Structure formats: C-alpha cells, structure tokens
Chain A
Amino acid sequence: MANRTIVPFGPQHPVLPEPIHLDLELEDETVMQALPSVGYVHRGLELLAEHHDYLDMAHVAERICGICSFIHSQGYCQTVEGLMGLEVPPRAVYLRTMWAEISRIQSHLLWFGLVADAFGYESLFQHSWRIREQIVDIIEETAGGRVIYGTCKVGGVRRDVDNETLQRIGRHIREIEAEYNELADIFRNDRTIRKRTVGIGMLEPENAHALGAVGPVARASGIAFDGRRLGYAAYPELDWEPVVEQAGDSFARCEVRLREINQSFDLIAQCIARMPDGEIEVSIKGKRPQGEVMGRLEQPRGEVCYYMQADGKKNLQRFRVRTPTFANIAPLVHMLKGCDLADVPVITLSIDPCVSCTER
C-alpha cells in the first residue's frame, strides 16, 4: 500500500545556493508532484527604479544577484542606452563582452562546484572553486571588486584595462583552461557521476519548447537558442556557435555548461585579440531615456529580459526583469515528476537555480 507523504525541500538545504521552497508529494520514494513556492529573497528592487535616478539604478541592477552581477548591470546599461539612443564606443563594447564572458566562466565554475557537492563529491567542489579563485582574481585585478564589478555605467565603462594587462590575462587564461580541462574530464568520465545524471530528469524537446525552458536547460534538449545570437555587444563580430546537446537529461545539461566554459575561454581570447583602441565612454549630457523597450541578454543561466518604460524624466517608469531561473521553474516542476527523492537535489542543481535573481 503506497505511502503518501509531503516532504518540504528547502528553503534551507545544503545543496541550494539560495532559498527556494519545493513541497514534494512523495509516494514511497518517488516524487509525484513538486509544488514550488518562492518569495524568500524578494527585495522590491523593481520599485526602486521609480525612486532612484536612472544612473544610480545601474548600481542597484548590479546587486540583483551576486553570481550574475555583471551581466545584470550590462543588460541594464545596454537597455537604457537603447532607450536613449546612445552608441557606446567599440572599446567599451569589447571590454563589456570580455567581462561578461569572465563572469560566465566564474558562474559556471561555481555551479560546477555546487553540483559536485550535491553528489557528495566535495573534493571536486573544492578543486573547481580553487580554479574559480584564479578567475575571480583576474576580475579583481581588472575591475576592482571580486563579486560586484562596478564597471558598467550608462554610456560606457568606468575603467579601462591597458593592453599589457590584457595580454597577460590572455596568457593566464590559457593556463587556467588547461587546469580546468583536467577537472572537466574527471567529471565526464566518472562512473558514479554518470550513474547519477545520465537518464535522470529527462526534458524532451517538445516539452522544453512548450514549458519555455531557457539557457543550458533548453540547449541540452536540442533547442539551439542562445541569447548572445541576438546581436548585442561584440558577439556578432566574434566567431562562435551555440553549444547544443541532444539527450535532455541532467548529464546533457552538465555537459552544455562544461563546454560553455571552454567556449567562454575562447571568446575571451578573441576579445583580447580584437580589442579596438579608443575611448571607453560617451557623453550622456542632455539625453534622457524615452519610450519602452524589451531588451534581452544571455546570462549564464539563460535568457534574461529587461522591460523598461521611460518618459523622459529622471526615473524610469517601469522596470521589470524576467530572469532565466523564473522561466526554468516550469521545466523543473515537470522534470521532478516521477523521479526519486534522492535525485531531487541533482535535478534542482542541474537547472542552476539563482533565486535572488528570480525574486528580485
């Protein structure tokens, strides 16, 4: 006789980076249904846009999330520049792209450590974070802060990086990539990890499309949508292809992110090689944001949408961020049906939840 129980997963759980609550309806040890409940990290950041100057909001936008911080500030600045009709100088565009790719690497390495920790593989967790430390040191060397870069502003970037530092970073990146490749090989070929991820948390392509999956979750099910193809920043001029896998299980999602780290290393090398000279900012005197726009970017976790509405005053009228983890909650709830209780942490981490983005 099947035993029905409800087990709360979260908001505090060792594998979760941020609090999210899932009520799991279990029959024996199989999950019948997962009921999500969010709202633990809501800080009302969208309303602040109506009270703060649109220039100061760039600081607030960066602090929506600690992991995806740079791309939030880049997205905010880009979208506001679109509303103002500003053209950012090419060097600033390339610097932003370089920092965005570095941010993507550190976010994926953070995820890599967390998913290894979810299996109980704590030593791999520490190894991957040790590599991530080197990336974060590069961020501190170029931007000044480890987590909050503070470099993007409306009209360009605040700090320049001189060419000598860029060349040195380019060489250092190659060494870090070699160390990272060893770890990635261990992850891919380890029999225990394969046993816990291959075939677990299947998301078929039709379901991925119907449920609105974004980011690596969608790309692991064969949907080749990468927000960087939208043509913002320096991506149209760089040489890259979206990373797509076909299997649709947790292992495919992990594989997409592992390959994206290599792709980001390559993109950084291309940015440094093609970095144009020139100024890093453009004057914003006498211009105010006007109109409404929906700007989209690619965060490490997927496609993020910035909806802004402005009417020429100093504050934005409406600022709305739809983050990728919010869009991935629907596929998560679908994937959890029918899985074992022990697989719940692995599947939840395979979508890479970033709840402070979701509940901004």
Chain B
Amino acid sequence: MTVPWYSISALVTKSALHKPATRLYPFEKRAPYARTRGHIQFKIDDCNYCGICAHKCPTHAIVTNKKAKTWAIDHTLCILCNSCVDECREGCITLSNHPLAPLGPADVARFREEYQAPPPPPPTEVELTPRDPAAP
C-alpha cells in the first residue's frame, strides 16, 4: 500500500511541471482524425436525382426533386450516419472530417428556406382520453 501523501505529491509535481493538457482553442485547433464524422459534402455534377439518399436518410435531412433538379441537405437534421455516403451510386456525397462551424441563426434560417421539409406524416389514430380515476 503506497503512502498516500507521497503518491499524491508526486502526481501534483509531475502535473505542475508538465505542459498543460489543454490547448488554446480557438487559436489552436486539433486536427481531426481521418475517420471523424465532420459534415456531409455534396457535388452536384454527377447527381442524377435518383433520390436514394433522401430515401435512406433516417432523419429526412436530404430533400431532392427530380423534376426541378434540386438537392438540399439540412445540416442541423443530419446525424452523420453516412447512409447517404454509402448508398450514392454516383459518388457525389462524401464525408468531410472537419466539423461544421456552429451555425448562426441567419444560416439556419437560410438552410430552412432553401430546404423543403417533407409533409408531416398523417397522425396514427391513437386517441388518448385520460381515464376518469373516480370510475371503478
């Protein structure tokens, strides 16, 4: 059993002489790992608007329109699951390993404007009438 004050003071001295474990963010930023899920990037050149990416997206972050030839992604809904990256047959969608900078309110509003949310699903018929507790 080690003597506590010795090991604690050894740890404290080592930490005091060591350089800080933190970095001066935002002046120094850590380089992300190769696999870090940063954000989804899209190149419209090869896209044929097949709509598979929008179909597979679990949060409906992607909306495409074949006739109007538009493709939009709402980054605030995207959960970076990479289903779209895996499914795109033309290779238009890639994952970048730099996370997006936090979106200001103007950017979010702009995304939401260009982006047309899918119509909300008709509600399933579940009527929840609270049961009268006085009834036997």
**A binding-site residues for B, Cβ under 8 Å:** 50-53, 56, 59, 123, 127, 130, 133, 137, 140-145, 148, 150, 158-159, 182-183, 185-186, 189-191
Contact = CB atoms under 8 A, between A and B. Distances in A.
B63 to A, nearest CB: 17
Interface of B: 1-4, 7-8, 11-12, 15, 21, 33, 35-37, 58, 79-82, 86, 121, 124
B81 A145 contact: no
B33 A150 contact: no
Give the secondary structure class of B's interface: loop
A159 B81 contact: no
A150 B35 contact: no
Contacts of A52: 58
B82 A150 contact: yes
A189 B6 CA distance: 11
Contacts, number: 56
A145 B2 contact: no
Pairs of residues from A and B, 9 with the lowest C-beta to C-beta distance, nearest first? A56-B58, A144-B37, A144-B35, A141-B33, A189-B4, A190-B4, A59-B58, A130-B21, A145-B37
A140 B33 contact: yes
B80 A185 contact: no
Given A144-B37, A159-B35, 8 more contacts: A53-B58, A130-B21, A144-B35, A150-B80, A150-B81, A158-B82, A182-B11, A186-B4
Contact of B7 (A150, A158, A182): A182
A144 B36 contact: yes
A186 B80 contact: no
Contacts of A137: 33
B4 A191 contact: yes
Given A52-B58, A130-B21, A141 B37 contact: no
A144 B36 CA distance: 4
A153 to B, nearest CB: 9
Contacts of A145: 36-37, 80
A185 B2 CA distance: 8
Contacts of B58: 52-53, 56, 59
23 contacts: A50-B124, A56-B58, A59-B79, A130-B21, A140-B33, A140-B35, A141-B35, A143-B35, A144-B37, A144-B80, A145-B36, A145-B37, A145-B80, A148-B79, A150-B80, A150-B82, A185-B7, A186-B4, A189-B1, A189-B2, A189-B7, A190-B4, A190-B8
A190 to B, nearest CB: 5
Contact of A150 (B8, B11, B37): B37
A140 B81 CA distance: 14
Contacts of B12: 123
Contacts of A189: 1-4, 7
Contacts of A185: 2, 7
A52 B121 CA distance: 12
Contacts of B1: 189
A186 to B, nearest CB: 6
A59 B26 CA distance: 31
Contacts of B81: 59, 150
B11 A127 contact: yes
Task: Pick the most buried of B37, B82, B124: most chain A CB atoms within 10 A of its CB.
Answer: B37
A147 to B, nearest CB: 11
Contacts of B11: 127, 182-183, 186
Contacts of B35: 140-144, 159
B7 to A, nearest CB: 6
A133 B1 CA distance: 28
Nearest to A141: B33
A182 B10 CA distance: 10
B8 A186 contact: yes
A186 B5 CA distance: 9
A191 B35 CA distance: 44
A141 B30 CA distance: 13
A158 B88 CA distance: 16
B124 A51 contact: yes
B4 to A, nearest CB: 5
A51 B60 CA distance: 14
